[in-house]
Amino acid sequence: MTDPKLKEAVLNGFAEKYGDAEGVSCYFAPGRVNLIGEHTDYNGGHVFPCALTIGTYGAARRRDDRKLRLCSLNVGGGKVVETSLDELTPSPEAGWTNYPKGVIWAFEGRGMKLPTGFDLVITGNIPNGSGLSSSASLEVLTGFILRDLYGFEVSNVELAQIGQYSENNYNGMNCGIMDQFASAMGKADNAIFLDTADLSYEYAPIALDGMKIVIANTNKKHKLTDSQYNARRAACEQALAELQQKVDIKGLGDLTPEQFEAVKDAIPDEDRRRKAHHAVYENARTIEAVSALKAGDIRRFGELMRQSHESLRDDYDVTGVELDTLAETAWTVPGVIGSRMTGGGFGGCTVSIVEDGAIDAFRDKVGGVYRKKIGYDADFYIVSIGGGPEKL
């Protein structure tokens, strides 16, 4: 369910910034959480994300010149940034506007040239820096708006691909396709079992009887374009090249754990071997987790979530003390089915499946241990699985 208050806020913001809201359209694109399958999406493996009912709201209207006026009610003090279709080059000064501008740039690169500019106001309820994909949500929202305002023929899968392409090539963040795909292709009460090697996917119903998905936010400030993320990707690409000397594969996701064990010595560097180990085993875990869910074995799903976190901690080195404190404390709380970090890591959030009757105890214990150990509070949100982008 979208939030009528945020729709109203974005329309009022538009009228206030640009004089009136005559002929303005309103849009929404969701954030996402990944239930299992982390750092597999750029390794040709499987992921299992779902769209959330929190996301980014936009109000937009075409102009009759080449100007772009962009305003976020969440960041930059609600300042209107004025630019134009002739200024589509990324710059640090452009801040958050690099995301919508990157999408316009990617549309134009595919031959979809905008005849005129537009005015845009956005707001949203994805917590900043939480790792719940506010950037992908904004990219998908922008693509969806461009399709609607200018009548471009482009599918939701293509909106995801355009969002990823712009983030890789305009914003310099080497992300995989998962975040944009989850936002563009979300379906209420379903997660998306996606094979990132060929973008084949199926929806898997998430029936959590007597349980909720709870997100815990470390509130640690992190910037994902961090060299850290791109370094992990580079290590996996090198490990893949080394394995390809021995075995015919396109991505690490092509190997089963048994096949990997037989050829892993082709990777001489121990650190790279651990990174590849994670990519292969995490992919296998994700496939098994979806089977467990289909069989109604939510306990097994929870065990696999724990194994996923341990691998991200021990092999992939992307957790850090904040995420480890949240996940490891969660594992000790009765009524917690599973808990793991979600997203790129180094900060951001954990995702947990918690029995309804245990939610208060979960918050109290995990929150208390976190405050004592880290020195500031974590935030907790109970989230619902929502649909994809829409015109409101």
- Residues 97-121 as b/e (b if ≥16 CB within 10 A, e otherwise) read bbbbbbbbbbbeeeebebeebbbbb
DSSP3 helix / strand / coil % (the chain, rounded to 5): 45, 20, 35
Which DSSP symbol is given to 153?
A: -
Alpha-carbon dihedral angle through residues 141, 232, 45, 154, given to the nearest 10 degrees = 20
**Token reading at 374:** 């880290």
Catalytic pick among 41, 179, 254, 315: 179
Chain center to CA of 325: 22
CA distance 115 to 119: 14
Answer whether 70's CB lies under 8 Å from 83's CB. Answer: yes
CA distance 175 to 136: 10
Helices (H), the chain: 4-18, 98-109, 134-150, 156-169, 178-185, 227-243, 257-263, 270-294, 298-314, 320-330, 359-374
CA distance 126 to 207: 24
For the question of residue 3 being annotated catalytic, the response is: no
Beta-sheet strand order (sheet of 49-62): 80-84, 67-72, 118-124, 49-62, 25-34, 390-391
Catalytically active residues are: 179
